[in-house]
Amino acid sequence: MIWDNAFAISIIPMLLKGLWVTIQLTLLGTLIAAVLGLVAAVIRRLNIPVLSPLVSFMVIFIRGTPLLIQAYVAFFVLPIYGISFNAFTTGVVIIGINYSAYMAEVYRSGIQGVPAGQWEAATALSLPPVRTWCRVILPQAVRTVIPMLGNYLIQMFKDSAVLSAITVVELMATAQSIGTSTYRYLEPLTMAGALFLLVSYPASRLVNKMERRYAPKQ
């Protein structure tokens, strides 16, 4: 099969539309993952009876099962029990929950990295627990893990292609649809890969700069 420039140019608008869906999935999924991951990390740190072990189990369970299976269960199985959402919403929620388990571990490492003296100082000042977490611990913990969270954002951007399996019309699904309807896969798949790279490479460079900026001072 020979590359067709005219065909490649004609499918750019469709691919860009799919790219926009992928970006929306990534941003919304990252927001869910960042919030749920932080909540999970804090709950595990607090050692709350029943709740903390349950959250720990959920983190292990989510990390131990493939994103694709989780997406299939959410989209094809849960509707049997009356829990049903459209493909895009399901995709956002599932990829957000999936990555929250990984971000929870990132946050946990950041919390553990806060010097013991900071905890002791907060206790000595009789700061309420909420204020201790919000004003002392989390600002320090989150700052050190920002680069790692950025890496997960980039990984989520690429993993969003998995959601094409539940009919989310993102970039990969768009490329496959074009190939199926035109019997030409060379151009759409190559260009989809190029668009993924076009977004992920600058993002990875930005994360590298953040790593240098937020690296612990020696």
Q: Check residue 216 and report its DSSP letter.
A: P
* pLDDT recorded at residue 127: 84
Q: Which one is the CATH code of 16-213: 3.40.50.2300, 3.40.50.720, 1.10.3720.10, 1.10.10.10?
A: 1.10.3720.10
Residues 38 and 59 sit within 8 Å (Cβ to Cβ): no
Q: Tell me the residue type at 189.
A: L
Question: Could you give the residue ranges of the DSSP H alpha helices within the chain?
Answer: 5-10, 12-46, 51-64, 67-72, 87-112, 116-124, 129-131, 138-159, 171-182, 186-214
Residue 135 has a pLDDT of: 86
Query: Could you tell me the residue ranges of all domains in the chain?
Result: 16-213
Check residue 217 and give its pLDDT: 57
Q: Is the pTM of this model over 0.85?
A: yes
Regions of the chain where pLDDT drops below 70: 214-218
User: Is the CB of residue 184 less than 8 Å from the CB of residue 11?
Assistant: no
